[in-house]
Structure 1
Amino acid sequence: MDFSEGSALEIVERLCSAYGVTTQKALAKCLGVPAANVSNWVQRDSVPGSAFVKCALDTGNDLRWLTTGKLANAKFNSLSALPNGKGLYDEITSNGGKAVLHRIMDAYGFTLQKQLCELFGISSGTVSTWIRRNYFPGDLVVTCALDTGVPLQWLATGKGKISGQSKMSSDINIIKKKNLIAGALEEGGEWQVELSFLQAKPSSPIFVSSNTGSWLIDTDITSISNGRWLLGIDGKYDIYDVAILPNKKISVTTPSFNFICASNEVSVAGKVFFSLTYNF
Structure 2
Amino acid sequence: MSKRTIDAVAALERILVVYGFKQQKDLAEHIGIHGNNVSSWLARNTIPSSVFLECHLDTGADIHWLMYGEFANASCEGRKHKLRGKALLDLILESGGKAVLRRMLDAYGFTTQKELGDLLEISSATISTWIRRDFFPGDIVVACALDTGVSLEWLATGKGAPLVGSSDTHVANYSVLKKFSIISGSLDESGEWICDKSLTESLPASCGFVEKISSSWIVDFGQTNLGNGRWLISIDGIHDVYNIARIPGNKIQVVGDAGEFQCLVTDIVCVGKVRKTVEDN
Q: Common fold, TM-score beyond 0.5?
A: yes
Structure 1 stretch displaced more, 21-30 or 42-51 = 21-30
1:130 deviation in Å? Answer: 1.1
1:25 deviation in Å? Answer: 1.3
- Counterpart contact for 1:32–1:85, Cα < 8 Å: yes
Distance (Å, rounded) in 2 between the aligned partners of 1:22 and 1:71: 23
Residue of structure 2 in register with 1:21 after alignment: 21
Structure 2 residues not aligned, in runs of 5+: 172-281
> How do 1:3-18 residues align onto structure 2 when only pairs under 5 Å count?
6-18=6-18
Residue of structure 2 in register with 1:193 after alignment: none
- Counterpart contact for 2:7–2:68, Cα < 8 Å: no
Structure 1 residues not aligned, in runs of 5+: 172-280
Residue of structure 1 in register with 2:66 after alignment: 66
- Counterpart contact for 2:53–2:142, Cα < 8 Å: yes
Per-residue CA distance 1:100-128 (angstroms, 9 max, x = gap): 11111111111010011011111111111
Indicate the percent of aligned positions where both proteins have the same amino acid.
50
Residue of structure 1 in register with 2:32 after alignment: 32
Give the aligned CA root-mean-square deviation in angstroms. 2.3
**Letter of the 1:134 counterpart:** D
Residue of structure 1 in register with 2:48 after alignment: 48
Per-residue CA distance 1:114-148 (angstroms, 9 max, x = gap): 01101111111111111111111110111111111
- Counterpart contact for 2:57–2:81, Cα < 8 Å: no
Secondary structure of the equivalent of 1:15? helix
Which segments of structure 1 move beyond 4 Å, counting only runs of 4 or more? 1-6, 168-171
1:33 deviation in Å? Answer: 2.2
**Cα 1:127/1:7, change in 2 over 3 Å:** same
Residue of structure 2 in register with 1:76 after alignment: 76
1:59 deviation in Å? Answer: 1.2
Residue of structure 2 in register with 1:238 after alignment: none
1:98 deviation in Å? Answer: 0.8
**Letter of the 1:155 counterpart:** L
**Cα 1:161/1:114, change in 2 over 3 Å:** same
Distance (Å, rounded) in 2 between the aligned partners of 1:63 and 1:77: 13
- Counterpart contact for 2:110–2:116, Cα < 8 Å: yes
Residue of structure 2 in register with 1:101 after alignment: 101
**Cα 1:133/1:100, change in 2 over 3 Å:** same
1:72 deviation in Å? Answer: 5.7
Secondary structure of the equivalent of 1:46? coil
Residue of structure 2 in register with 1:116 after alignment: 116
Residue of structure 1 in register with 2:179 after alignment: none
> How do 1:117-136 residues align onto structure 2 when only pairs under 5 Å count?
117-136=117-136
Residue of structure 2 in register with 1:139 after alignment: 139
**Cα 1:2/1:9, change in 2 over 3 Å:** farther
> How do 1:128-277 residues align onto structure 2 when only pairs under 5 Å count?
128-165=128-165, 170=170
- Counterpart contact for 1:52–1:63, Cα < 8 Å: yes
Secondary structure of the equivalent of 1:115? helix
Larger Rg: 1
Distance (Å, rounded) in 1 between the aligned partners of 2:50 and 2:153: 13
Residue of structure 1 in register with 2:259 after alignment: none
Give the structure-1-normalised TM-score: 0.56
1:23 deviation in Å? Answer: 1.4
- Counterpart contact for 1:19–1:30, Cα < 8 Å: no
Distance (Å, rounded) in 1 between the aligned partners of 2:169 and 2:43: 40
Residue of structure 2 in register with 1:278 after alignment: none
Distance (Å, rounded) in 2 between the aligned partners of 1:11 and 1:35: 17
**Cα 1:18/1:46, change in 2 over 3 Å:** same
Distance (Å, rounded) in 2 between the aligned partners of 1:87 and 1:170: 33
Structure 1 stretch displaced more, 26-35 or 11-20 = 26-35
Per-residue CA distance 1:77-113 (angstroms, 9 max, x = gap): 4333340011101101110111011111111111010
Distance (Å, rounded) in 2 between the aligned partners of 1:129 and 1:31: 26
Residue-pair matches, total: 170
Per-residue CA distance 1:38-72 (angstroms, 9 max, x = gap): 11111111111111101100111111110111126
**Letter of the 2:116 counterpart:** L
